[in-house]
Amino acid sequence: MKKNVLWICMMLLLLVQAACSDSGKDAGDGSGDTNSDADTDSDTDTDSDSDTDSDSDTDSDSDTDSDSDTDSDTDSDSDTDTDSDSDTDSDSDTDSDSDTDADSDTDSDSDSDTDADTDTDSDSDSDSDSDTDTDTDTDTDSDTDTDTDTDSNACATSCGLEAEFPECFPLKLNNTLDAPRTDSAIFVDMAEIQAEYADFNANAFVVLDNCTELSSQAVDNDANGSADEIVFLSNLDASETRTVVVRYATSGTSARDYPQRAQALVSPKTGAGGSYQDVDFLDLTGNIDHDASFMRFEGPGWESDRVGFRLYADTRNGFDIFGKKKPDMMLQTIDYNDGDYSTVTDWGGDILHVGDALGPGGLGTYVNNAAVRISNEQTLTVQILASGPVYAALRMTYGGWSPGSGTYDVTADISITAGSRVARMIAKANNNIPNLCTGMPIHSDAAVVTPSVVGDWTYLATYGNQSLVPDALGIAVLYRTTDESQVTKDSNNHLAVLKPTDGQLTYHFTADWVQEPAGSANQQAFVSSLKATLAELDSPVEVAFP
């Protein structure tokens, strides 16, 4: 009996073991298939670069070795390329796919899930790129708005002039020179202003720099009664960009009171034995000969607070210099009938002997190896175009001038600005005049000076004890390098012979006297001053409407 019971127990034990063995074998086979798919998804989760719960799922499922590592690596490479751009949406995909694969018992289902992961991750990358582009556009618009607001705020500043000048616009000044500018004359064309602000009124305006009113004036270059440009003075630091504002009234006239720092005049005598009277226009046709009593200092004059010049408006047509020891306007006080012609007084005086030369910056033409001054013309007029406070200009008109190379009509517009010792000449001649020339008188005590470096502009100068005092005086003419035909001399002049373009030529001339309050003390200082002037001509101030 005991044996039977023992046998029965052994049989039951064998059956239980067999059953357990089959169950373990089936479970082992199924687990291998599942783990292989799980490993594939596990690699996918790892490559997604996503900081999500998928990492923990991967670790828990990857406890067994998989025979399908090769397939898993292939899927992983595909996912790596896709997932590299995604940082956000991969979290939900990872958890969902992991759960699905855990329930899957076959290889085919695993491959299908892997493809689905690739499609989903691709959509996620697209959304991420779209968000990036939107942020970039927003930043760009913000920068543009900031610049516009800055320019608009210039006009928003209250300076107490809004009632008188209710309209306003900004001007942006750019000093293109790596050096400061003092009393820089800024010219703005009226046509450009009215293209932006059609109601601008040149008879009622002010220019403000942070509520500081800058000296300004309207300029009528052709004497037709309408302004052609406005001009104002500004100080600019090296390479500085600065915004000023122009306030104006659309109608009426509002005269401003600024210090008189530049002027031009011609003053004939009125009647027999009369006094000098300043006029805006004077017809000198008839070849006025040398007559010191007909006009104050024998012709028109122009000056700044730094230097003065005059022109003999007779058969000589030479230029001369008034050296100034003080900044006041002095032309109206000069009367050579009441004093010595060359005596230097407390304000200064005539400091140069011109003789038969063109004079400093005088205009002529070069014929047969000599300069020919404008003289013996058929008609001659003088017109004052502007007389300060900032800018002064006059026009000489010569009709029927015959220097030996033809007959020409010539206009010479001469101007100067406050704070400067440099005058400008704009000459126009008809009939294809072959050349125009300018220069300065030859004096034995003055050396010729030329620049060591030449840019767009260059100069011809002399420096030495060539004043009537006598003491140190520098004289120079400055002109565009491309206009130069030759630098030479004749018996009276150091000459720059220049080529007009379409009959027109622009050049500048200057005088630097040692007794001027800010005059150059020596030749080195004079050359430094000329170098600075050339740099300003080469790099003009840029003016823009923001």
pLDDT in tens, 357-385: 999 999 999 999 999 999 889 999 999 99
Instruction: Say yes or no to pLDDT of 75 above 90.
Output: no
pLDDT score for 315: 83
Average of per-residue pLDDT across 409-434: 98
- pTM for this entry: 0.73
Average of per-residue pLDDT across 525-536: 97
Query: Where is pLDDT greater, at 11 or 93?
Result: 11
Please report, rounded to a whole number, the percentage of residues in the chain having pLDDT higher than 90: 64
Residues 355-387 as b or e (16 or more Cβ within 10 Å = b): eebbbbbbbbbbeeebbbbbbebeebbbbbbbb
Lowest mean pLDDT among 2-11, 19-28, 517-526: 19-28
Whether the link from the prior residue into 259 is cis, omega within 30° of 0, is no
The pLDDT tens digits for 212-241 are 999 999 999 999 999 999 999 999 999 999
Q: Parallel, antiparallel, or unpaired: how do β-strands 364-367 and 370-373 relate?
A: antiparallel
Instruction: Say yes or no to pLDDT of 484 above 70.
Output: yes
When computed from its CA atoms, the radius of gyration of the chain, rounded to whole angstroms, is 45
Whether the link from the prior residue into 470 is cis, omega within 30° of 0, is yes
Lowest mean pLDDT among 9-23, 373-387, 392-406: 9-23
Dihedral sign (CA 140, 141, 144, 150)? negative
Q: How confident is the model at residue 287 (pLDDT cuts 50, 70, 90)?
A: low
DSSP 110-133: HHHHHHHHHHHHHHHHHHHHHHHH
Q: How confident is the model at residue 55 (pLDDT cuts 50, 70, 90)?
A: very low
Q: How confident is the model at residue 137 (pLDDT cuts 50, 70, 90)?
A: very low
Q: Determine the Cα–Cα distance for residues 490 and 43; give it in Å rounded to an integer.
A: 96
Strand partners, 207: 214, 246
Query: Where is pLDDT greater, at 56 or 465?
Result: 465
CB-side neighbour CA atoms (13 Å) of 537: 24
Q: Determine the Cα–Cα distance for residues 457 and 459; give it in Å rounded to an integer.
A: 7
Average of per-residue pLDDT across 503-518: 97
Q: How confident is the model at residue 154 (pLDDT cuts 50, 70, 90)?
A: confident
pLDDT score for 262: 98
> Backbone phi, then psi, for 535, in 5-degree steps?
-65, -40
Which tokens is 428 given?
């126009």
Query: Which strands, in side-by-side order, build the sheet including 205-209?
Result: 212-214, 205-209, 241-248, 167-174, 542-544
Q: Report in angstroms the alpha-carbon separations of 74 from 125, 232, 267, 277, 321.
A: 20, 76, 102, 104, 94
User: Cα 475–404–316 angle (5° rounding)?
Assistant: 45
Q: How confident is the model at residue 290 (pLDDT cuts 50, 70, 90)?
A: low
From the list 450, 490, 294, the residue with the least C-alpha distance to 380 is 294
Average of per-residue pLDDT across 319-343: 86
From the list 362, 347, 385, the residue with the least C-alpha distance to 263 is 385
Q: Determine the Cα–Cα distance for residues 184 and 216; give it in Å rounded to an integer.
A: 12
Query: Where is pLDDT greater, at 96 or 417?
Result: 417
